[in-house]
Amino acid sequence: MKSLINFIQDEVSELLHNFYNLNTEGAQINVTNTAAPHEGDYSLVTFSYAKQLRENPEKIGQRLGLALQEKHPHIFISFNVIKGFLNLIIADSFWIGFLKQTTLDQKFNLANEKECTYMVEYSSPNTNKPLHLGHLRNNFLGQTITNLLKATGNKVVTTCVVNDRGIHICKSMLAWMDYGSGTTPMQSHKKGDHFVGDYYVQFNKQLQAEKKELMNKGYSADEAEEFAPSMQAAKNLLLQWEQKDPKTLEIWRQLNNWVYQGFDETYKKIGTCFDKIYFESETYLLGKSLVQEGVNKKIFFIKDDKSIWVDLTAEGLDEKLLIRKDGTSVYITQDIGLAQKRYQDFPTDKSIYVIGDEQNYHLQVLQLICRKLDLPVAQGIEHLSYGMVELPFGRMKSREGTVVDADDIIAEMITVAEQKTKELGKTNEFSSEELKKLHEIIGMGALRFFLLRVDAKKRIIFNPEESIDFNGFSASFIQYTYARIQSILRKAQEHNLHKQPFMQTEPLSTVERNICLLLEQFVSIVQGARESYSPSILCTYLFTVAKSFNSFYAEVPILQASTIESKTIRLAICSITSVAIAQGMGILGIDVPSRM
Tell me the three-class secondary structure of 434-486, residue by residue.
HHHHHHHHHHHHHHHHHHHCCCCCCCEECCHHHHCCCCCCCHHHHHHHHHHHH
Which of 373, 390, 407 finishes a domain? 390
In a domain, 166, yes or no: yes
Residues 210 and 357 in one domain: yes
Amino acid at 546: A
User: Residue 96: inside a domain, yes or no?
Assistant: no
Looking at the structure, do residues 367 and 501 belong to the same domain, yes or no? no
385 and 419 in one domain?
no
* Domain co-membership, 501 together with 439: yes
Q: Is residue 85 part of a domain?
A: yes
Per the structure, how many domains does the chain have?
A: 3
The number of beta carbons lying within 10 Å of the beta carbon of residue 535 is: 28
Q: In the prediction, which pLDDT does 27 show?
A: 84
Helix extents (H) in 498-534: 510-520, 522-531
Q: Are residues 160 and 260 in the same domain?
A: yes
Q: Give me the pLDDT at residue 399, please.
A: 47
Domain end among 390, 407, 428? 390
Q: Is 39 contained in some domain?
A: yes
**Is the pTM for the entire model greater than 0.85?**
yes
169 & 257 share domain: yes
Q: How far apart are the first and last CA of the chain?
A: 33
102 in a structural domain: no
CB burial of 357-381 (b: ≥16 within 10 Å; e: otherwise) equals bebeebbbbbbbbbebbebebbebb
- pLDDT score of 5: 94
For the chain, how many residues are written? Answer: 596
Residue 501 lies in domain: 415-587
Q: Compute the distance between CA of residue 214 and CA of residue 223 in angstroms, rounded to an integer.
A: 9
**Backbone φ, ψ for residue 178 (5° rounding):** -80, -35
Can you give the pLDDT at residue 131? Answer: 94
Whether 233 and 346 map to the same domain: the answer is yes
CATH label of the domain that carries residue 294: 3.40.50.620
What pLDDT is stored for residue 466 in this prediction? 78
The domain that holds 39 is classified in CATH as: 3.30.1360.70
Whether residue 97 lies inside any domain: the answer is: no
Say which CATH number the domain at 482 has: 1.10.730.10
Which DSSP category does 354 fall into? E
Residue 595 resides in a domain: no
Q: Can you tell me the distance from the alpha carbon of 332 to that of 330, in angstroms, rounded to the nearest whole number? A: 6
- Please indicate, yes or no, whether residues 175 and 311 belong to a single structural domain of this protein: yes
Domain identity same for 270 and 365 = yes
The reply to whether 321 and 434 lie within a common domain is no
570: amino acid identity, one letter: R
Query: Is residue 402 included in any domain, yes or no?
Result: no
Q: Which of 90, 105, 136 is the last residue of a domain?
A: 90
Does 428 share its domain with 379? no
Q: What is the DSSP letter of 145?
A: H
pLDDT at 139: 98
Residue 155, strand partner residues: 117
Phi and psi based region of residue 413 (left: phi greater than 0; alpha: psi -120 to 50; beta: remaining): alpha
pLDDT tens digits for the chain (596 residues)? Answer: 688 999 999 999 999 999 999 998 988 899 999 998 899 999 999 988 888 888 999 999 999 999 999 999 999 999 999 988 999 999 999 999 999 999 888 999 998 767 899 999 999 999 999 999 999 999 999 999 999 999 999 999 999 999 999 999 999 999 999 999 899 999 999 999 999 999 999 999 999 999 999 999 999 999 999 999 999 999 999 999 999 999 999 999 999 999 999 999 999 999 999 999 999 999 998 999 999 999 999 999 999 999 999 999 999 999 999 999 988 889 999 999 999 999 999 999 999 999 999 999 999 999 999 999 999 999 999 999 999 888 776 554 544 545 789 999 999 999 999 998 988 888 888 999 999 999 999 999 999 999 999 999 999 988 777 788 888 899 999 999 999 999 999 999 888 776 666 777 788 999 999 999 999 999 999 999 999 999 999 999 999 999 999 999 999 999 999 888 899 999 999 999 999 999 999 999 999 999 98
CA dihedral 366, 370, 373, 376 (to 10 degrees): 170
Q: Please check whether residues 131 and 242 belong to one and the same domain.
A: yes
